[in-house]
Amino acid sequence: MARNPRFDVLFEPVHIGPVTAPNRFYQVPHASGMTNALPQVRAAFRGVKAEGGWGVVCTGAVSIHPSSDDSPLPFASLWDDKDIRAHALMTDAVHRHGSLAGIELWHGGACTLNRTSRIAPLSPSGMPWLSTHLGFMGNLRPRAMDAGDIRELLRWQAAGARRAMLAGFDIVYVYAGMGYLPYEFLLPEYNRRTDAYGGPIANRVRLVKELLEVTRDAVGDRCGVALRISLEELRGRPGAHAPSEAHEVVTLLADIPDLWDVKMDSSPTDCAPSRFAAEGSHEPIVNFVKQVTRRPVVGVGRFTSPDVMVSQVKRGILDLIGGARPSIADPFLPNKINEGREHEIRECIGCNICISSWHDGVPVRCTQNPTAGEEWRRGWHPERFAGPGSDSAILIVGGGPAGLECAVTLARRGYPVTLADAAREFGGRLRFERGLPGLAEWGRVVDWRMARLRERPNVHLYPGGELSADDVLGLEHRHVVIATGARWTKMLFSTLEFPVGDLDVPGVYTPDDLADGVVPPAPVVVFDFDNYYMGGAVAEKLAAHGSVTYVTPAGNASAWTFMTNELPLVHRALTKAGVAIHTLRRVTGFDGTAVTLADVYAGTESRIGCRSLVIVGVRRSTDDLYEALLAQGAALERAGIASVTRIGDALAPGAIVHAVHGGHRYARELDAPVAAAPYSRDFPV
C-alpha cells in the first residue's frame, strides 16, 4: 500500500549538526534494563527498531563514571575502553538499517547512591536528592563538588564522548534531566553555590554549557551534540528577563547543542500513564522551545497517532517525533505509516509495565509487544513468524488477552485457528477493565488483536457459546488451548499472610460481581491486597455511586503502582473522588453493618460502618474445562486431540503482560523443535 500523502512530512530528513536523520521518527533515550552485561540482547532490541523505520535509535542513560552508579537498578556504562565493544554491537545493528545511533551520556549526581562503587555521591552543594521511591531510597548523603570535581566531571564527559564516537555513535548527549547532576545545578534549592556555577540562572546553566562544549570538542564534526533537558519545573518559575526560567535556559544555550531533546522532570509526568494523561501531555511545557532556538527539537508524549505527529510538526512544536513507549509497543510504527498501514500500529496502552521492568531490574517487557526483549534470546521478531510446522487445527477456548494473542500469532504463522468464548464479546477481563476510570486505552490490547483476527481467512470466531468437554471432543481440532482466565475470590489472610478462607457472607463482593453489573449498596469498603490497579480503580468507580472507604494492608493505595509511576496519581484521584484511604489495616470480619479491621503491626482493632465489602485480593484460575478434558483420558486421543494446554490466567493469574506473553509463547513454540533451554543466554563482551 502507498503512504498517505498527509503523512509525507514525517518522512522528511532532519539535519542534526553534521549528521542527518533519515526521517522524523526518533527513539529518544530510554533504558532497556539490559546493561552492558547483555550486549546481544540489547543490540537486537535496538536494531529491530531501526529496521522498523525509527530514523534515530538511542541508548538509555549511559554512566560516564563509577561515581554515577545506580545499582541495584540496571544501567549501562562507558567508564573505560573496555565498554566500547558492547555498545558497538548496538551501533552496528542500528546502522545496518540506515538509522542514526544516539547515546545519552549520564551522570546521576545526588540521585545515584553508588551502592556498588561506594564513592560519595556528587552534588552541587551537598543537598541530598530526597526520594520516597523505594528503588531510590538510601542512607548515604552526597558531598558538595569543588572546582576540581567540576573539572573532573567535564573530563569524564569528554572521555565518554570520545569513546562513544569510537563505538560508532552519531549523536552524543549531554543529559540535564530528571534530578541528575547537571539538572541539580539548574535549581537553586539544590545549587546553593556562591561561585561561577551558582546564583543567577546564567551561572546555574554554566555547567550544562561547559558539558556541551567539551562534548563538541571531543566529537568534532563527526557527531551531532544533543541536549536532553527537563523543563517542567523551570517553566513554572518566572524568569528575570523572560516568561520563565525555562525560557531563559533555552535562550542562554539556544544554538549551542545541535539538537534539543525536551522532556518533563519526574517519571510520572514524563512517562505519564494513560490512566491519568492523554497523548501529547508535554506540549504545554515544551511548546515554546522552537521559538527560541534555530536547532531542531525533539519531544515526547506517547505519540501513536500519525495525525497528532503531523500536527506537532506543522504547528511548530516539534521537528522530530520522539518515542520511547510507542517504539517499544510497536518497533515498526514508522514503517507501517510509510506503507499506508497505519491502522496496523500496535499502539502503546500507557500501562507503564515497561517502566516497572526497569524498576524490577530486568530487561524491558511490554504488555502490547510480547517480543520486546525477546528478539535475540528467543529469536522472536515482532513482524516475522515461522510458517506452520504441521497442518494441525487449533481450538482456543477463551478470548481474553492470552487467547487473543495466541490466536493472532498462530494465525500469522498460518495455522487454522478457532477462537471461542462463552461471552458474546471477546476481550475477557478487559471487557470490564477497559471501562474502569482511566483505563479506556487498555482496550487497545483487545482492539488491535480483534482487528488482526478479522483480517485473516484462517480464523474462525465463535463468541457467545460456552463449550463443554464433550463439545470440545466433537470439534476435531488437533490442539486445544485453554485460556479461560481467572476469577477473584473472597479470600482473607492472617497476620502471617496465610490464607484463612473465603468470607462468603451476604454483602461481600468481588470485582467479578461488578463486572456482572452489580452495584454494591453504599457505604462500601474496598479491601485491596492485590495492590495493583484493580482496588484503586474499583474504589474510584464506586465513589460515583456513594461513600467509599479504601482499606489496604500496604503502606499506600495500589501500592505496587509505584513500579508503574501511577501511585501518586492514584492517591490524588482517590482523594479527589472523596474516597477515604486507610493503610496498614487488614479486614478481619464483616457482619453486614460494619467491617472489623486490625492494624497490621500493632493488631489493634477498629470498625468502619458499611453495607458492602468488596474484596480485591486473590484470583484463582478458571480451569474447570481443562480438568474436565484431562479426565477424558483416551477419549481425547480418539477425538484426534494431541494436546490440551493452559495459558495466561487459566495457568497462573497475573498482570495482562504475562497473559499476552504466555499466549505468544505457546503460538511461537507450537511444533517447534524442543529447545535445550527456555532462551539463549547472553554474556558480556
Ligand X SMILES: Cc1cc2nc3c(=O)[nH]c(=O)nc-3n(C[C@H](O)[C@H](O)[C@H](O)COP(=O)(O)O)c2cc1C
Q: Which is nearer to ligand SF4, 171 or 329 (CB)?
A: 329
Our measurement of the distance from residue 392's CA atom to the centroid of its chain's CA atoms, rounded to an integer in Å, reads 36
Start-to-end CA span in the chain (Å): 42
Q: Which stretch binds ligand SF4 (CB under 6 A): 46-54, 202-210, 325-333, 390-398?
A: 325-333
User: What, of ligand SF4, ligand X, none, does residue 275 touch, CB below 5 to 8 Å by kind?
Assistant: none
Residue (26 or 590) nearer to ligand SF4, CB: 26
Instruction: Give Cα 287 to chain centroid, integer Å.
Output: 25
Residue 142 binding: pick among ligand SF4, ligand X, none (C-beta 5-8 Å cut-off by kind): none
Q: Of 246 and 337, which has the nearer Cβ to ligand SF4? A: 337
Q: Find the angle CA(513)-CA(517)-CA(518) to the nearest 5 degrees.
A: 60
What is the distance between the alpha carbons of residues 408 and 520, in angstroms, rounded to a whole number? Answer: 37
Of residues 61 and 292, the one with the C-beta less far from ligand X: 61
- Residue 345 as a binder of ligand SF4 (CB under 6 A): the answer is no
Pick from 373, 377, 351, 352: nearest CA to 364: 373
| Residue (of 304, 186, 308, 193) closest to 248 by Cα position | 186
Return the residue matching grid coordinates 537498578: 73
Residues 528 and 551: their CA atoms lie apart, in Å, by 6
186 binds ligand SF4 (CB under 6 A): no
| Rounded least distance, CB 475 to ligand X, Å | 42
Specify the residue, 201 or 445, whose C-beta has the smaller distance to ligand SF4. Answer: 445
Judged by CB under 6 A, does residue 355 bind ligand X? yes
- Partner whose binding site includes residue 353, from ligand SF4, ligand X, none (CB under 5 to 8 Å by kind): ligand SF4
Contact between 368 and ligand SF4 by CB under 6 A: the answer reads yes
**Coil/strand/helix, residue 212:** helix
415 flagged as catalytic: no
In whole angstroms, the minimum distance from the beta carbon of 60 to ligand X comes to 3
Between β-strands 122-123 and 143-144, what pairing exists: parallel, antiparallel or unpaired? parallel
Size of the site for ligand SF4 (CB under 6 A): 13
How many residues are given for the chain?
685
676 Cβ contact list (under 8 Å, min separation 6): none
Answer for which of 19, 31, 64, 655 binds ligand X (CB under 6 A) is 31
Work out whether 258 is an interface residue with ligand X (CB under 6 A): no
Tell the smallest beta-carbon distance from residue 97 to ligand X (Å). 20
Give the residue with the Cβ less far from ligand X, 173 or 527: 173
Q: Is 30 in the site for ligand X (CB under 6 A)?
A: yes
**Residue keyed to cell 480503580:** 537
- Identified catalytic residue from 180, 550, 626, 666: 180
Answer yes or no whether residue 304 interacts with ligand SF4 by CB under 6 A.
no
**Residue 28 binds ligand SF4, judged by CB under 6 A:** no
* 61 near ligand X (CB under 6 A): yes
The kind and range of the H/E element at 469 are helix 469-473
367 binds, among ligand X, ligand SF4, none (CB under 5 to 8 A by kind): ligand SF4
DSSP string, 482-537: E---EEE--EEE-TT--EEEE--STTEE-HHHHHTT--PPSSEEEEE-S-SHHHHH
Across the strands, what pairs with 619? Answer: 488
Question: From ligand X, ligand SF4, none, which one binds at residue 349 (CB under 5 to 8 Å depending on kind)?
Answer: ligand SF4
List, as one string, the DSSP characters of 158-181: HHHHHHHHHTT-SEEEEEE-TTSH
For the record, the C-alpha cell of 296 comes out as 531542531
Q: Minimum distance from CB of 60 to ligand SF4 (Å)?
A: 14
Q: Which part of the chain contacts ligand SF4 (CB under 6 A), choosing from 3-11, 134-142, 361-369, 544-552?
A: 361-369
Q: Report the run of H or E that residue 628 belongs to, with start and end.
A: helix 624-630
Residue 300 binds to ligand X (criterion: CB under 6 A): yes
- Comparing CB distances to ligand X, the nearer of 76 and 436 is 76
C-alpha grid cell, residue 267 = 517519571
List interacting residues with ligand X (CB under 6 A): 28-31, 60-61, 104, 177, 228, 263, 270-271, 300-302, 322-326, 354-355, 358, 364
Residues with a known catalytic role:
180
List interacting residues with ligand SF4 (CB under 6 A): 325, 328-329, 348-354, 366-368
